Copies of this chain bind each other. A is one copy, B any other.
Amino acid sequence: MNILVVGAAGMLGRKLVAALIQRAALRGRRIETLTLADIVEPQRPDFGGRVETVAVDLAAPETAARLVASRPDVIFHLAAVVSGEAEADFDKGYQVNLDGTRSLFEAVRRAGAAAPYCPRVVFTSSIVVFGEPLPEVIADSHCLTPLTSYGTQKAIGELLLADYSRRDFLDGVGIRLPTISIRPGKPNKAASGFFSSILREPLIGREAVLPVAETVRHWFASPRAAVDFMLHAAELDSAPLGSQRTITMPGLSATVADQIEALRRVAGEGAARLIRREPNPVIAGIIAGWPRSFDARRAEAFGFRAEKSFDDIIRVHIEDELSGVEPA
């Protein structure tokens, strides 16, 4: 089993690589070769098999052809210029997120024209392909109306994945990831950052700012669940996907109040008191257009599973990021 991970240096990429190494097998076969690519060279993991780490610009000519030259059996495509940057730098967003994705699919198709080749390609999309006007609960049959260039590029990636799969150039499975909470690391300036920081920071005794009302509802999964989605997407039988190659992943529809209640239950009133209310109308305005809840029955029928409560999500964070030691 030869695996290529494009976008291996990011938070989810690193966790995916660690999970692959820990499992040692995928699709019932022993993992022998890992190629880890990203715009910066990914860290070299501790792995008994062959591993190659490469710094590449996916949008540059020939990059994709070099990445698939070894004909990987499974390709995880996670690489993307993130939402804020794709909005600020229109050209760069389209070059990486659209042209880069298309180059990768094209490289697979061209490899297949030389000799039979049809790898499983797992493409990570996002719930930001959906935007207002939205029903309260969003099904896979709902139209995509992205409100950002990043969301537009992900939606186009989904369409390309479906067409390349239909033509048997590759065997694509797209997964729309929920907002990831609790993201490890430092607070960042993403509008969605507070959904993680109001839990992550108090868990280590630090203050966090809540810029929106506690009634705000959104759709969440833990980093561990996201990695499980990717692994499952690599292994599932893709035939029943039909023309809908991308699936909205299951998640937890929760309000900020639900998050805080869970924090209180797991870490106590002291932790909850570290959340400082500081209303920010700009952030509240951005969040207002975001999806609140999904009908993920299709994903569940395909065997995808997510956390059922924020208590679970917090416990995952404690186990995976705080060495399992619950703070006092």
Contacts and interface: CB of A to CB of B under 8 A. Distances in A.
Task: Assign chain A's interface to a size class.
Answer: 20 to 34
Given A131-B243, A145-B243, A242-B132, A162 B167 contact: no
Given A133-B242, A242-B132, A152 B143 contact: no
Contacts of A152: 159-160, 162-163
A131 B242 CA distance: 11
A244 to B, nearest CB: 6
A155 interface: yes
A293 to B, nearest CB: 16
A21 interface: no
Interface in A155-197: 155-156, 159-160, 162-163, 166-167
A65 to B, nearest CB: 16
Nearest to A129: B159
Contacts of A135: 141
A102 to B, nearest CB: 8
A142 interface: yes
Taking the full assembly, how many copies of this chain does it contain? 2
A159 B155 CA distance: 8
A107 to B, nearest CB: 14
A159 B144 contact: yes
Contacts of A140: 143
Contacts of A146: 159, 162-163, 243
Interface string A237-253: 00000111000000000
11 contacts: A132-B243, A133-B141, A133-B242, A142-B143, A143-B143, A144-B159, A146-B159, A146-B163, A152-B160, A156-B156, A156-B160
A155 B166 CA distance: 15
Contacts of A19: none
A159 B162 contact: no
A147 interface: yes
A149 interface: yes
A145 B167 contact: no
Given A155-B159, A156-B160, 10 more contacts: A131-B243, A141-B142, A143-B144, A143-B244, A144-B144, A145-B162, A146-B243, A149-B167, A152-B160, A152-B162
Contact of A143 (B141, B147, B156): B141
Contacts of A147: 166, 243
Contacts of A143: 140-144, 244
